[in-house]
Structure 1
């Protein structure tokens, strides 16, 4: 049996079909998406039929879901075809190939080189589109904040969380934001116009655009970079649901509460309510990094400008989530900038409840 590394050097679609026989399409969605990512990474759109055919064996199979997931997967991602074959080998696949002629080996080599070239071109195209979208969403964010929102002191969400508003605004009226595939964003406002939009809305399968519907009073939190440039917004409704503008940048962005010059400590946390609570209790400036996965990028960016600050990462304790990402990623970010980690202690509350 060949090793997985050797087997993957010239992988064919037939090899892929053989491997997929050992994978259960009724697996978790995370594993299902991982299979799609590995296939698209190696074969590009030429691998869709194999992914779709395999997915059709699932009790949950919906052609529209497969197409939607495939479109969302970018070629050249971190999950490769090796992951797919490793999963299959773990389930019993033995990868063996009969000896082939030098001519056939040359053909396979040429095919593999062509796929690599196409993959590289697709990655460059995807990155260019991503950067273009980032610029479109940044401009659109400024328009939304300037024209459709007003400063807010409090609302139902803030009152529930018992925190004040620091740099937030809210929508003055309901608005629908639409993102077209040709790098354009637009709005629909007015009760009559919004009602007509939903009346004319195509079904999901035939729709070539995405949209978000924001209500009057929904909170708007500006997301900036280290140079204070606005790139995106996070919208928080009364129920606490948090949304970002599609196609917009998020990595390395944050919302800043307070003034950096007010003390030599900088708190870094995930969500707005946590950051506002920290600032109200301590007067420390606080960077709201949005989620655990963004803590490292935000911390390293801020450390470049705030060299003398002591960073304190006020971690979300995700004790019921595998690996506790809130704490583990806070520890990683703290190690990168020489900071400290503070973790909430609910033991007294738990003991009392027990």
Structure 2
């Protein structure tokens, strides 16, 4: 008599149901066992069982599953042996559905999970507020940012920048990529979820990338230019991984373009776009290599088109194999990137666009090859006209650039590579050597390098730290100034021996007042009469000596914005009259700010006077 058939999958699920999932070693061992027994099909069973743990994390689960191997030393026999230690009966031939299909989660686990989700949500909200504050603090990207120059890209309003030292002061910690701290000019790239910034990507001069610790990345996106318009199916929407890739595609087409932080979030963001814009064509910008599978998944799930970059045989960029559309733009030019994307976006509508009927070949009796050649020539003509229209729209917004020789690094690396077309945007040309601007920069005094912290946070008295938490809230990041550090900017809280300054949301710096110098008599008087609380000040260090200056957040942002626009105008050889206009706009904008403040002050005085109780009868 043959032994009754036992469903091994059902038995494994039932065996797992009696094993607690909270212990880390057991959790990993079961991953090895299920992968050995069922391959990748075992992930669903293991993940469902993992969710019964109070500390379950989906990202950690997927990462762990990818890292385990089938030959990890654990098998299904290991799983069943452990299940027997918890009372599981291996001799049964049938397992009830409640055991085979459902893993019970205890009320304690559910309660812990709710608390963990609430804590995580609060963390995401705090980081989002911090990201918004840093984005408002950052300034427009100046000319010749090293990272953008290497990528052959121009700054856009959706990018801003900060010095790494400023960023460190705002965050309270040094942003790093694989334990290498970010240095120099750091690009600030905002990622949005809905109408709010959820986190920031930070890219330094050398291309090191980081993001805010604890920020919500899933479903977030960066928009290179104007947002897509609902109800306009004529303009495709581009979506890809990484700012440089998407910005290259945006420059090549002028189409709405969105970037995700990683290839793993491409399918989710593509699905969101498809739901929001059901009639618009989506084009997913895939990278050659590991990210291609995620791009294909996004294409399948959102009914989009897949675009992959094209390179010449043996092409290299910085001795590396090119993989994305930015590499294609650097090697072959933005014109070829635009042609590639337009051909893919309009592939199925090419015949209708040029007015060719499917019966033309039969009616004319022409050969099939001749018909194909005629159709393709008309499609090509349509695409070229489309490209020229885009070029004309761009050139109408800018002055005609001067002709310059392309640098050798931007030339194709092989004979078969397609030569680059003339750029549609003016190039940023460095000033000729020996010019007054260069000489003035050479003779400018060099600021001393920023040194080590002047003291440790532990050296600050406990009562001062408690005051900081009471004033600015908890949890609170606390830091100390560095030698030659600053400028530190933000609201202050004044004590007898320390000036506590909030340099970012829930981040403070303690300035010692022993050697503090005030830039004006008014500030000194305010300090002596306890009037500094709530003021926004700027503190800079000359060695270990702090000096306090008045600071106005709105005026500082306005001046930096106008200054950046002036620099860009000079680099692009715009008319000198534009600088005069910017100065006039600057003066008028600041006058409006002052008028608004004066009006608000008068209203406040009137309200205070109306609420004062009448004096006593005499």
Instruction: Give the shorter-chain TM-score range.
Output: 0.5 to 0.7
- Give the superposition deviation at 1:129: 1.3
1:10 matches 2:18? yes
1:133 pairs, out of 105, 108, 123, with 123
Distance change (3 Å), C-alpha of 1:7 and 1:156: same
- Give the superposition deviation at 1:214: 5.2
Partner Cα separation in structure 1 for residue 283 and residue 115 of structure 2:
39
1:82-101 equivalences in 2 (<5 Å): 89-90=74-75, 93=78, 95-96=80-81, 97=84
Are 2:286 and 2:307, in contact at CA under 8 Å, matched by a contact in 1? yes
- Give the superposition deviation at 1:75: 8.6
Partner Cα separation in structure 2 for residue 42 and residue 305 of structure 1:
34
Determine the structure 2 residue equivalent to 1:174: 165
Distance change (3 Å), C-alpha of 1:265 and 1:5: same
1:36-115 equivalences in 2 (<5 Å): 74=57, 78=61, 89-90=74-75, 93=78, 95-96=80-81, 97=84
1:315 matches 2:315? no
Partner of 2:237: helix, strand, or coil?
strand
The structure with the largest alpha-carbon Rg is 2
1:266 matches 2:251? no
Partner of 1:136: helix, strand, or coil?
helix
1:145 pairs, out of 127, 135, 146, with 135
Partner Cα separation in structure 2 for residue 337 and residue 230 of structure 1:
24
Determine the structure 2 residue equivalent to 1:332: 297
Partner Cα separation in structure 2 for residue 349 and residue 82 of structure 1:
36
Determine the structure 1 residue equivalent to 2:261: 290
1:343 pairs, out of 308, 318, 332, with 308
Partner Cα separation in structure 1 for residue 135 and residue 79 of structure 2:
57
Are 2:31 and 2:65, in contact at CA under 8 Å, matched by a contact in 1? no
Partner Cα separation in structure 1 for residue 57 and residue 129 of structure 2:
24
Partner of 1:93: helix, strand, or coil?
helix
1:232 matches 2:199? yes
Partner Cα separation in structure 2 for residue 258 and residue 225 of structure 1:
16
Partner of 1:10: helix, strand, or coil?
coil
- Give the superposition deviation at 1:4: 2.0
- Give the superposition deviation at 1:131: 1.1
Partner Cα separation in structure 1 for residue 277 and residue 49 of structure 2:
43
Determine the structure 1 residue equivalent to 2:615: none
- Give the superposition deviation at 1:306: 2.7
Partner Cα separation in structure 2 for residue 251 and residue 99 of structure 1:
38
Distance change (3 Å), C-alpha of 1:101 and 1:148: closer
Distance change (3 Å), C-alpha of 1:99 and 1:170: closer
Partner of 2:185: helix, strand, or coil?
coil
Determine the structure 1 residue equivalent to 2:189: 221
Partner of 1:348: helix, strand, or coil?
coil
Are 2:241 and 2:261, in contact at CA under 8 Å, matched by a contact in 1? yes
Indicate the structure whose relative CO is greater, using CA pairs within 8 Å and at least 6 residues apart: 1
Partner Cα separation in structure 2 for residue 164 and residue 82 of structure 1:
41
- Give the superposition deviation at 1:249: 0.9
Partner Cα separation in structure 2 for residue 93 and residue 173 of structure 1:
51
Query: Taking structure 1 as the reference length, what is the TM-score of the superposition?
Result: 0.62
Determine the structure 1 residue equivalent to 2:509: none
- Give the superposition deviation at 1:148: 4.0
Are 1:234 and 1:245, in contact at CA under 8 Å, matched by a contact in 2? yes
Give unmatched runs, 5+ long, in structure 2.
1-5, 34-42, 90-98, 317-413, 416-618
Partner Cα separation in structure 2 for residue 253 and residue 303 of structure 1:
15
2:153 pairs, out of 150, 156, 163, with 163
Partner Cα separation in structure 2 for residue 133 and residue 231 of structure 1:
11
1:250 matches 2:217? yes
